[in-house]
Amino acid sequence: MSDRITTPFGAESTAAEVLAGLDLTGRRAIVTGGASGIGIETARALAGAGAEVTLAVRDVAAGERVAAELKAPVPVQVRHLDLAEPTSVGTFVADWAGPLDILINNAGIMASPLLRTPRGFELQFATNHLGHFALATGLHPALAAAAAASPTGEARVVSVSSSAHHRSPVVFDDIHFERRPYEPWAAYGQSKTANVLLTAQ
């Protein structure tokens, strides 16, 4: 068991506070779901610290509007990514070139009615966890390359979760609600627990 990691930051901390005083010039970052909410503010903070930011978004037009509004010192890139679609994740990974210092797994959907991907996966779990898992593992060579070139020998993968993980464990016997009654918040909570477990690995 590794030592417990502690931080001076908490639930009220902003991305800008976390990055205050850091110089990320020359570092490359991807923010999934960077066209709205937390994703925008995370991208703003990373770009403000000098990082080369790519917004990985379903709606490219919305991503382009955000990129223009950020007025970052380094141009913000926008690329299509649909985390619920494995082919989209595979294309994004295949098209990525060069090292990657920071991957922010932020995109997600919350408490939706029961929706399924074409493969039959429950949509919240597919989007919030499975897509990010495939993205992170697919980009592992890029992250490893960045870590090898970094003075600290590190790259970062950040998975955005929430206290909603208390609502449900990952129910491995029926992840996709094929046999149990569907409950939107339980499905969301399960996906957030999976985010936490991914981060702990």
Task: Name the band, by pLDDT with cuts 50, 70 and 90, for residue 201.
Answer: low
Residue type, 128: N
Reading the block at residue 150, the tokens are 């970094």
Query: What topology does CATH give the domain 21-200?
Result: Rossmann fold (3.40.50)
pLDDT (tens digit per residue) in 55-112? 999 999 999 999 999 988 889 999 999 999 999 999 999 999 999 999 999 999 999 9
pLDDT at 1 over 60: no
Per-residue pLDDT, 158: 93
pTM to 2 decimals?
A: 0.92
Among left, alpha and beta (phi > 0; psi -120 to 50; other), residue 100 is: beta
Three-state SS sequence of 88-129? HHHHHHHHCCCCCCEEEECCCCCCCCCCECCCCCEHHHHHHH
Domain spans of the chain? 21-200
The residues annotated as belonging to the active site are 188
